[in-house]
Every structure is written in structure tokens, then in C-alpha cells.
Amino acid sequence: MLEVKNLNVYYGMIHAIKDVSFSVKKGEIVSLIGANGAGKTTILQTVSGLIKPKSGEIIYNGENIVKISGHKLVSKGLAHVPEGRRIFAELSVIQNLKLGAYTRRSNFEIDETLKNIFNKFPRLAERKNQLAGTLSGGEQQMLAMGRALMSHPSLILMDEPSMGLSPIYVNKIFEIIKEINNDGTTILLVEQNAKKAMSIADKVYVLETGNIVRSGNASELINDEAIKKAYLGE
């Protein structure tokens, strides 16, 4: 579904992503793990067109999307839950959700999706007229996910969905990610919470200062001594 080949991204003179290649198959949860500054967010932002790479290819459903501007990717089924949630704080919950469906035209289908999202996140239904900025961190994360789902995506990029949340919410968010995946959406997940990420992922790539240093099935890597030591704190 998604294939990234020899991706190189620079911030000015800084070579942030060095020849990174990875792939995501339809129906999978693929997790990129790594420390702060390893380049996880940069990779996601490049895939969704917010940052333009210096070289490399991003093949999405057979099409090289490197040159396509970010806003055109949403209607191709690519959604992105950004780091730090970035919900529209001055707008209401329902406005945020409807903006998620900005590229869709059929009101009937949008209402259908909205119903599903309210079923998945009853909390958002309770607060639909509240300004998004007044929600708690966990609720904002749910809103950011709901907003991404509103575009009816086939691939969702999720950037640190558990960041800054209480342990109860962390568990809840990972359950929801699993659920979204079971509904048929492919997920590319970036996390610092490597243990949690590996527990739900099919495939894992380990990123260190812009390079992919390890990759493999989650079930294998989770028992790898070096990974355990470096990322799982055991």
C-alpha cells in the first residue's frame, strides 16, 4: 500500500532522514519506533506532503506522491493524526470533525461516518458543541483520531498518539488503534512508547538519527535482547 524508497530529507544543512526505505502492506499496523529526534515525525510529515524530500520515492497505491501537494492526498485516502494532536481549539468538536470530512461531498455519507465515530467515541458526542480547546488531553487525542477518520481513509499515519496521556487513556487509545485497524484501515504508527507500539504492531522499524537500524516482525523484535535493552527498559 505504501512504499518509501531511499528517502532523504534535509532541514537546511541538516540531513534529517538518511536513505530510509520501508513498506506498509494493506491491513497492517506498522510501527516506527525510536528516540526523540530520530526522525519519526519528519518521515510522517514527508509522507503526507507537509515536507518535501530532497530525494527518494513515496509510492502510495502504485503512485509516486512525492510531488503532490499535501492537501490533495486526503482525497486519495491518506489521513494523518499529527503529533501534539493539533486540533482546532477555537472551533467546536463537531466543526473539527466536519473539517475532517472537508474533501468529501456526500452529506449522507458524512453523517453516516459521524455516527460511527460518535459510537466509537461517545465522549465526543457528549461534548460535540464544546470548543475543542476545552477538552482534556485524552479527549483531544480522540478528537484528532475521529477527525482523521472522518475523511474515510484507507491509510492513517499516527504520530505519538499516547504522548502526554494518563496510563488509563494510553491503554484506551491503543485499544482504539487496534479497533480502527480491525475495521480495515491500515496504520503507520509512530511511538515513543515502544512496548505498547510493538504489542499491537505487525511490523516494526527502529529508527536512530535518521537511519533505519533494525526492522522485522513485532513478535520477533519484542524478544530481541538489544531492542529490549535500548527501547523496552528491561
Partner 1 sequence: MAFFSYLISGLSLGAIYAIIALGYTMVYGIAKMLNFAHGDVIMVGGYIAFTCSISLGVNPYIATIISALGCMVLGVLVERIAYRPLRGAQSLSVLITAIGVSYFLQNVALLIFGANTKSFTSIINMPPLKLFNGELTITAEAIVTIIVCLVVMALLTLFVNKTRLGWAMMAVSEDKGAATLMGINSNATIGLTFAIGSFLAGIAGVLLCSSYPTLTPTTGAMPGIKAFVAAVLGGIGSIPGACIGGFLLGILENLSKAYISSQLSDAIVFSVLIIVLLIRPTGLMGKKQIEKV
Beta bridge partners of 15: 10
CB of 1 to partner 1, least distance (A): 19
| E strands present in the chain | 2-11, 14-24, 29-34, 55-60, 63-64, 78-81, 155-159, 186-191, 203-208, 211-217
Q: Is 42 in the site for partner 1 (CB under 8 A)?
A: no
Q: How many CA atoms lie within 13 A of 72 on its CB side?
A: 6
129 CB neighbour count, 10 Å cutoff? 9
Region 75-94 residues binding partner 1, contact defined as CB under 8 A? 75, 79-80, 82, 86-91
Per-residue binding string, partner 1, 162-201, x by CB under 8 A, is ----------------------------------------
Residue indicated by cell numbers 499515519: 157
Segment near partner 1 (CB under 8 A); pick from 100-108, 121-129, 134-142, 199-207? 100-108
72 or 115: whose CB is closer to partner 1?
72
Size, binding site for partner 1 by CB under 8 A:
28
Q: Give the interface with partner 1 as residue ranges (CB under 8 A).
A: 48-50, 69-75, 79-80, 82, 86-91, 95, 98-100, 102-103, 147-148, 151
